[in-house]
Amino acid sequence: MPERFEETGDQADTHQPESTTSSLDHRPRSPLDQDGDADPLPAWSDTLLAHLYDGVLSPAGFQRFVEALVDCMDCKSAILFTTHGPTQALKTMWVTGIEDEWLRRYALDIGRDDIFVQLLLAPPRAGFLASNLDLPPAGVDFEQSRFFREWLTPQGVRYAAGTLVLAENEWVTQLVVQRSDAQPPFRPIELRWMDRLMPHLQRALRMRQRLGELEHGQSLLAGGLEIPAAPTLLLDEQNLVTYVNQRAAALLAEPDSPLRLDRGMLVARDRDVHLRLQFAIGNAIRISRGEDLPLDDVLRLPRSGRAALSLLISPLRSPPHAQTWPHGAALVYVFDPEQLPRLAPDRVRRMFGLTAAEAQLAVALCRGATLDEIAVEREVSAHTILTQLKSLFGKTGTNRQTELVARLMASPAYFVSG
């Protein structure tokens, strides 16, 4: 375990440099140190920086960095995350020390009452802040807040320190570390050290984001997304849509669609559904980076006067025996019961070795027509239809109409766009 942060000098409640000499002055200096710095960094800072820049290309991203930060700073937990300002949707998380159910509660409900994060985002933004040094705001009893009582206290969290790392358009990236009752409160010298880490964290985040954009922009996968008959969207590690197939584009263009794109973000018009969608996409991306997480992978989107849409959120998994994707990604499939895929007779014919007449019969059965209706429609006898049906059973390896329809509906001929 890396050597933890220790400081034996003055611990005044101010963010200004202490006038007394710290025992850290006698430790090896880090590349983060600058000439004349009053607070030289501890020896483990080099290791922490190495984990940070390794995260630019690592399939796990900055996971090892946040884990090392918890060890080095003697903390209970840490989270590096991005939120969407107008909707407060949570995305792009690297987290350690917080159970997934607590993250879920934060993302879907209680995060809107996070007084500490509100302080981080409020101007003027003053670098790293600590709850024990900078809270509560005037007129606010932090320990009586819902966020403190229902989220922090049950997890054993007593102190938090954090900062705004990046603000791009409506997206805000923050880093927050937490300590328990058994750990000491944050000290000014620790906040000043974290402030000096921020330029490196900003640079690493931007590098990973740009490399991810390049990777998905050149991905051969994008062209393959035109194959599924269902509307399909590809999302990158930033929860941003990088590709939509034609069916998805048509769905998003509908005036009453419950989904839309806003600056690359997939937005559900219902706020609660939107928060669940973004959290599920974020977890799918984390799974695609190799994390072992539960995934609420199916969501329903109600539509006024119409059947609800169903969304299936899936991690973009690496092929077997291959390394994980360098950057996380997720796929979203949309199922519209009013726009079910249709079987193409020619594709069915070629896939199962049928005659043209047998393929037409198979397609008609899949759309729910009866044998008598098919005979009338095609102007042939019932005996001819039964003969073709018997041949269909033999060529598809089935014995009953229900089994035949199930076999055809489960085949690529049904799910591949014509």
Give the residue with greater pLDDT, 186 vs 297.
Answer: 186
Per-residue model confidence as pLDDT tens digits over 115-156:
888 888 887 777 899 988 888 666 667 778 889 899 999 999
Average pLDDT score over residue span 361-383 = 88
- The string over 373-412, giving b where at least 16 C-beta atoms fall within 10 Å of a residue's C-beta and e elsewhere, is ebbeeeeeeeeebeebbeebeeebebeeeeebbebbeebe
Domains of the chain, each with CATH number or no CATH: 23-212 (3.30.450.80), 223-335 (3.30.450.20), 345-415 (1.10.10.10)
Give the residue with greater pLDDT, 386 vs 56.
Answer: 386
Give the residue with greater pLDDT, 156 vs 240.
Answer: 156
Q: Which residues pair with 162 in a beta bridge?
A: 129, 176
The confidence score (pLDDT) of residue 384 equals: 94
Looking at the predicted structure, is the pLDDT value of residue 215 above 80? no
The confidence score (pLDDT) of residue 286 equals: 87
Per-residue model confidence as pLDDT tens digits over 306-361:
888 888 888 886 555 444 455 788 889 888 877 766 677 888 888 889 999 999 99
pTM of the predicted protein model: 0.64
Written as six digits, the tokens of 367 are 């759309």
Give the residue with greater pLDDT, 30 vs 388.
Answer: 388
Looking at the predicted structure, is the pLDDT value of residue 32 above 50? no
Looking at the predicted structure, is the pLDDT value of residue 297 above 70? yes
Q: What is the percent of the chain with per-residue pLDDT over 70, rounded to a whole number?
A: 80
Pick from 36-40, 78-82, 263-267, 286-290: least confident: 36-40
Q: What is the mean pLDDT of the chain?
A: 80
Give the residue with greater pLDDT, 67 vs 403.
Answer: 67
The confidence score (pLDDT) of residue 340 equals: 63
Average pLDDT score over residue span 9-36 = 37
The confidence score (pLDDT) of residue 90 equals: 82
The confidence score (pLDDT) of residue 341 equals: 63
Q: Which residue has the tokens 């402030």?
A: 195
The confidence score (pLDDT) of residue 137 equals: 62
Confidence of residue 157 (pLDDT cuts 50, 70, 90): very high
Written as six digits, the tokens of 410 are 């489960």
Confidence of residue 19 (pLDDT cuts 50, 70, 90): very low
Looking at the predicted structure, is the pLDDT value of residue 11 above 80? no
Give the residue with greater pLDDT, 195 vs 87.
Answer: 195
Per-residue model confidence as pLDDT tens digits over 39-87:
677 778 888 988 998 888 787 889 999 999 999 999 999 999 988 877 7
Confidence of residue 38 (pLDDT cuts 50, 70, 90): low
Average pLDDT score over residue span 23-42 = 46
The confidence score (pLDDT) of residue 25 equals: 31
Q: Which residues pair with 340 in a beta bridge?
A: none
Pick from 33-37, 275-279, 373-377: least confident: 33-37
Pick from 21-30, 260-269, 306-315: least confident: 21-30
